[in-house]
Amino acid sequence: MTTHPDAPRILVIQHEDGTGPGLVGAETDAAGLVPHLVHPWRGEALPATLTGYAGLLVLGGAPGAGDDETAPWLPAVRALVREAVGTGVPLLGICLGGQLTALALGGSVRVRPRGPEIGAVPLRRLPAADGDPVFGSVPDGAPAAQWHWDEIAELPPGAVPLLTGADCVHQAFRVGPRAWGVQFHPEVLGAAVADWARSDGPAAARAGADPAAAVASVRAAEPELREVWPRTARAWAEVVRSYARR
């Protein structure tokens, strides 16, 4: 596919191997957005600012949102999050990206006292989801793929909760007009979760989770996952395109 020279560019931050943009990236590519994918754990430098970018996509990963010693690029990511919200650049933070968004803006993140949440989990719409430009079409009870040991304990001041779950309260939220964070993984299907189960499953099992059941639940939910979450990714891509046209 030939890229138009004026196509909007988005900065995509990946925190480790095996946690790429997946379904979300496929939809942003199809929408004509040009990704600049940075792998800071490999030593690749993050841009100092978002100048020249029409969107910021922050992906998931194993580090904690405040693990600056083990993941020394995280302060720079949080600074870019604050810049995005302060300037109105569209932002989507996924799992760790959502936690970084919350922490950067004055919320808090904690290790889950109940152990990891893994597998396909049904989400509930909250009233503010009505009319939201990205999550407004998510049906009540839609399944979402989960694999996280930490969770957002408190949303930032002024954040609007959009989706919740029975075991993890803050599943999706909006800050300002064009910034969103999610705790779940809209970018993955069963194959990715199976990979995570091979690497992280033994620790999850020791913590009381059932990795095999988690993988099976995500595989069973794939028809709904393919219907719901690419649609939200397309909606976010349209927010980016509208911002770029302003």
**Catalytic residue IDs:** 95, 185, 187
- What is the rounded CA–CA span in Å between residue 37 and residue 199? 24
Q: Which two tokens stand for residue 2?
A: 């030939």
Tens-place pLDDT, residues 177-206 = 999 999 999 999 999 999 999 999 999 999
Distance separating alpha carbons of residues 56 and 42, to the nearest angstrom:
19
Please, what are the domains in the chain?
A: 9-114+125-136+146-190+228-245 (3.40.50.880)
Number of Cα atoms under 13 Å in the Cβ half of residue 233: 25
Q: Are 97 and 60 in contact (CB under 8 A)?
A: yes
Q: 224 Cβ partners below 8 Å, 6+ apart?
A: 142, 143
Asked whether 38 and 44 are in contact (CB, 8 A), the reply is yes
> What pLDDT is attached to residue 1?
46
Q: What is the pLDDT of residues 28-75, one digit of tens each?
A: 999 999 999 999 999 999 999 999 999 999 999 999 999 999 999 999
- Rg of the chain over all Cα atoms, to the nearest angstrom: 17
Which SS3 state, helix, strand or coil, does residue 84 take?
helix
Distance CA 122, CA 108 (A): 24
pLDDT attached to residue 155? 98
CB contact set of 166 (below 8 Å; sequence gap of 6+)? 121, 122, 124
pLDDT at 19 over 80: yes
What does the pLDDT look like over 89-103, one tens digit per residue? 999 999 999 999 999
> What is the rounded average pLDDT of the residues 79-83?
98
pLDDT at 3: 58
Q: How far is CA 52 from the centre of its chain?
A: 22
pLDDT at 4: 66
Cα separation, 90 vs 102, in Å, equals 15
Tens digits of residue pLDDT in 116-153? 999 999 999 999 999 999 999 999 999 999 999 999 99
- Would the pLDDT of 2 be above 60? no
Question: Bridge partners of 11?
Answer: 36, 56
d(CA 141, CA 204): 25
At 9 the pLDDT is 98
**Pairing of the two strands 143-148 and 9-13:** unpaired
Question: Could you give phi then psi for residue 37, rounded to 5 degrees?
Answer: -90, 120
